[in-house]
Structure 1
Amino acid sequence: MSSSTKSVSVPPQVPDPSAAKGGLLAQPKAVWAVFFACIIAFMGLGLVDPILPAIAEQLHASHSQVTLLFTSYNAVMAVAMLITGMISSRLGIKWTLLSGIVIIAVFSALGGFSNGIWTLVGLRGGWGLGNALFVATALAAIVSLSNSGTAQAIILYEAAIGLGISVGPLLGGWLGAMSWRGPFLGVASLMVIAFIGLMLLMPKGTKATNVQNKTSLLDPFRALKHRSLLIFGIAAALYNFGFFTLLAYAPFVMGLDEHGLGYVFLGWGILLAITSVFMAPKLQQWFGTIKSMCAMLTLFALLLVAMGVWTSTQWVVIGAVILAGAFLGNNNTLITTAVMNAAPVERSTASAAYSFLRFIGGAIAPFTAGKLAEIYNPSLPFIVGAGFVFISVIFILMNSSHIKHVDDAEIGH
């Protein structure tokens, strides 16, 4: 989704002979099966947002305890990203995707039947493992199966992420209004449909299902020896501190019910989807990746400052959350593209290394935000989040000489 919060795993850069074979929507059924599964998988990121206050109330948990639902999810994803390449290179992309879907379905269903916050936090971590296996290989499947070329396949993947992130909170608010258990059981049910679709529609014995080169567990660590990849990973960890402060903590200060929170994060997700697919490529073309990234991060940091200053003014917080979707959508696509062009390693390996660092930031931020609010005041989490985002901009600018080569590659190539 980034996500902010997203992980990419695509084959090494090679000339793409299929680039002009078909339009964006003229895809095989297998691509649409993966596309649908991606939407459901990324619903998980924002699905629990509208029900965080309800979970806190009904399970008698503190705000910091409830934010652990994001911390456990991201922490497990961070570690799991290091082994997804090793697993997918042995199971094949199809069976890695299906394994991820099964794990998500099982742990989300168990979460729906749990009765304690600590049980729910643990199960949410299991959900993170399934999500790591799925999202780390989904783009590889779409790129391999698509008949319209790598650039348009990436756009299709970004669109799936955007739809999932935007629809997730709406569905979470609707189901959560009936019971906080509803969103968990809803995802489990949808994952069953996704599993059936992939089983029936993904082909056997194709380049999308078989991986010839087995990946080592040490490959992501070796990839971080490339300074450019390390720089983007650290920058992503810093800015994700702000991203997940907004995502995990903002619901507690908006004073809205489940439906209201669902609509706010729907607006956030729609802007994130539109900008990541349509606006980010234009920014990269006009101003370059690095300048555009720094501009978006600076605007996001200023937005967090505004949320910190006017935390008690409801309309400011709501408007800032929605507007943040635009800045985050642009930045997610820009930094994803930069990572894919950062180092001379396989994209799947680069993604694993980058995602490991990125999700560490996403794991630390939610619990930290909840604790800062409990110990000091509700405004401080946003100010601290803004500080980390500002540091990410400074870090990128200080190391610009090591990453300027990413601007030589156009978005999606």
Structure 2
Amino acid sequence: MSKSYAKTTNEIEARAGFFSQPKAVWAIVFASIISFMGLGLVDPILPAIAEQLHASKSQVSLLFTSYNAVTGVAMLITGVISSRIGVKKTLLTGISLIVIFSVLGGLSGSIGQIVGFRGGWGLGNALFIATALSAIVGLSTAGTAKAIILYEAALGVGISVGPLLGGELGSISWRGPFFGVGVLMALAFILIIFMLPSIPKPKVRSTLADPFKALKYPALLTLGITALLYNFGFFTLMAYSPYVMNLDEHGLGYVFFGWGMLLAITSVFIAPRLQKRMTTVSSISMMLAFFTIDLIIMGIGTVNHSPKTVIICVIVAGIFLGINNTLITTAVMQAAPVERSIASAAYSFLRFLGGALSPWLAGKLSEWYYPETPFYFGALMVFLGIVTMVVRRRHLTHIDEAGVQH
């Protein structure tokens, strides 16, 4: 009976299309797009903030550092909170905090205030994104793999549209993007209230120790360390490259729009096909290798005073990062025999630590050494991520096998 039921379930999942999702899933996806827009919205206004608030590159980069640091640490408590107040209330709490702190950021009068409010924004972001991923996977009728692709697509669309909107609003005032996020997330709040049903709380409540216990599983720890390392390259691109492209707010918005669109398209259409042709681990390693080369070329372009080279490399990087994000998120969901939300929290904790350190360090490296140094350092860290995958590959065998079966 159980085999027949499992077979029927698998057949239903196989027939379910990518877009055949409940309304609740689409409500979360829409909110996720806006949430991820918040990450890219500030990209086009980084030089403007530095100029108008008389701040250095490393000081402005703290907008990413405070955001990612708080997000990473707060990931450890997302399971504790959601298992006690429920998924819907956790999502709404996260959205509320994003609205409040994004508006406060827009009202700020100094770089220190913006950095502080971005930290509060990061708390709301942590509560939202960790819960959103597990909610989309749990509510989806198309299976785990397609649900993750949908989540990564939301990430890509949000990151691509964010800079475009940020460039338009930022051309009016650097405060515009902050207010824009507040308005859009308020709309997402309303959608979640009316479209997301109450999801039963888990029978077993999570504890603060659960994410750390999850990292005892070698596969999850390996993926977390890899993500920590490649995020040095990711956020060097996000937080530092705007300073060497010599573009205004509109131009930066268009560049990151192109980058994000490629990220979204490849995460949805290319990543699943590549996973079928190659093993998951090999696919991730290959994408990270391409990204390493891409960062090195950005460094060379900076040395040669060629903004066009950096612009092209930033856009092309969307291909490698889009594929990699989908593959590594799918791998995380299969890495350890723990709840998806706990696995996501443990992995995200390590991932965002890399995102917290790299923007500030990129700014400092350019001040201490040369303008191209951050790109070379980012490339080195991404390469070390590949080494981590290769050296610890034996711990990821079951993920490769799961990918083949899928």
Task: Give the Cα separation in 2 of the matches to 1:146 and 1:283.
Answer: 23
Query: TM-score of the superposition, structure 1-length normalised?
Result: 0.93
Q: Does 1:183 align with 2:200?
A: no
Amino acid of the structure 2 residue aligned with 1:212 = K
Task: Give the Cα separation in 2 of the matches to 1:322 and 1:329.
Answer: 11
Task: Give the Cα separation in 2 of the matches to 1:47 and 1:136.
Answer: 20
What whole-Å deviation, never above 9, does each CA across 1:284-317 have from its counterpart, x for those lacking one? Answer: 1111111111111011011111111111201100
Tell me the CA shift for residue 412 of structure 1: 11
Of 324, 329, 347 in structure 2, the residue corresponding to residue 331 of structure 1 is 324
Question: Residue 31 of structure 1 aligns with which residue?
Answer: 25
Q: Does 1:78 align with 2:72?
A: yes
Question: Residue 396 of structure 2 aligns with which residue?
Answer: 403
3-state DSSP class of the match of 1:26?
coil
Amino acid of the structure 1 residue aligned with 2:160 = S
Alignment of 1:120-139 (within 5 A): 120-139=114-133
Equivalent residues of 1:73, 1:124 under 8 A apart = yes
3-state DSSP class of the match of 2:197?
coil
Structure 1 residues 66 and 102: alpha-carbon distance in aligned structure 2, compared to 1, 3 A threshold:
same
Question: Residue 239 of structure 1 aligns with which residue?
Answer: 230
Alignment of 1:28-67 (within 5 A): 28-67=22-61
Alignment of 1:232-381 (within 5 A): 232-311=223-302, 312-381=305-374
Equivalent residues of 1:49, 1:169 under 8 A apart = yes
Structure 1 residues 362 and 98: alpha-carbon distance in aligned structure 2, compared to 1, 3 A threshold:
same
Alignment of 1:167-182 (within 5 A): 167-182=161-176
Question: Residue 7 of structure 1 aligns with which residue?
Answer: none
Query: TM-score of the superposition, structure 2-length normalised?
Result: 0.95
Tell me the CA shift for residue 117 of structure 1: 0.1
Structure 1 residues 345 and 411: alpha-carbon distance in aligned structure 2, compared to 1, 3 A threshold:
farther
3-state DSSP class of the match of 1:409?
helix
What whole-Å deviation, never above 9, does each CA across 1:21-47 have from its counterpart, x for those lacking one? Answer: 743323332222111111100101111
Equivalent residues of 1:154, 1:412 under 8 A apart = no
Question: Residue 145 of structure 1 aligns with which residue?
Answer: 139
Tell me the CA shift for residue 395 of structure 1: 1.6
Tell me the CA shift for residue 129 of structure 1: 0.6
Task: Give the Cα separation in 1 of the matches to 2:340 and 2:135.
Answer: 13
Range 22-31 or range 321-330, more displaced: 22-31
Q: Structure 1 stretches of 5 or more lacking a match?
A: 1-13
Structure 1 residues 209 and 108: alpha-carbon distance in aligned structure 2, compared to 1, 3 A threshold:
farther
Task: Give the Cα separation in 2 of the matches to 1:21 and 1:94.
Answer: 28
Question: Residue 115 of structure 1 aligns with which residue?
Answer: 109
3-state DSSP class of the match of 2:240?
helix
Task: Give the Cα separation in 2 of the matches to 1:145 and 1:337.
Answer: 16
Task: Give the Cα separation in 2 of the matches to 1:295 and 1:272.
Answer: 16
Task: Give the Cα separation in 1 of the matches to 2:228 and 2:132.
Answer: 22
Count of residues paired in the alignment = 397
Question: Residue 381 of structure 2 aligns with which residue?
Answer: 388
Equivalent residues of 1:21, 1:149 under 8 A apart = no
Range 72-81 or range 25-34, more displaced: 25-34
Structure 1 residues 326 and 411: alpha-carbon distance in aligned structure 2, compared to 1, 3 A threshold:
farther
Of 140, 150, 160 in structure 2, the residue corresponding to residue 156 of structure 1 is 150
3-state DSSP class of the match of 2:403?
coil
What whole-Å deviation, never above 9, does each CA across 1:325-348 have from its counterpart, x for those lacking one? Answer: 101111111111111111222221
Question: Residue 10 of structure 1 aligns with which residue?
Answer: none
Range 40-49 or range 400-409, more displaced: 400-409
3-state DSSP class of the match of 1:115?
coil
Task: Give the Cα separation in 1 of the matches to 2:405 and 2:191.
Answer: 27
Task: Give the Cα separation in 1 of the matches to 2:25 and 2:395.
Answer: 36
Equivalent residues of 1:19, 1:150 under 8 A apart = no
Amino acid of the structure 2 residue aligned with 1:116 = S
Amino acid of the structure 2 residue aligned with 1:134 = F
Equivalent residues of 2:43, 2:242 under 8 A apart = yes
What whole-Å deviation, never above 9, does each CA across 1:352-388 have from its counterpart, x for those lacking one? Answer: 1111111111100000000111121100000111011
Amino acid of the structure 1 residue aligned with 2:321 = L
Of 180, 195, 210 in structure 1, the residue corresponding to residue 201 of structure 2 is 210
Q: Structure 2 stretches of 5 or more lacking a match?
A: 1-5
Amino acid of the structure 2 residue aligned with 1:150 = T
3-state DSSP class of the match of 2:13?
coil
What whole-Å deviation, never above 9, does each CA across 1:11-30 have from its counterpart, x for those lacking one? Answer: xxx99565257433233322
Amino acid of the structure 1 residue aligned with 2:228 = A
Tell me the CA shift for residue 100 of structure 1: 0.3
Task: Give the Cα separation in 1 of the matches to 2:271 and 2:142.
Answer: 20
Tell me the CA shift for residue 151 of structure 1: 2.9
Equivalent residues of 1:93, 1:211 under 8 A apart = no
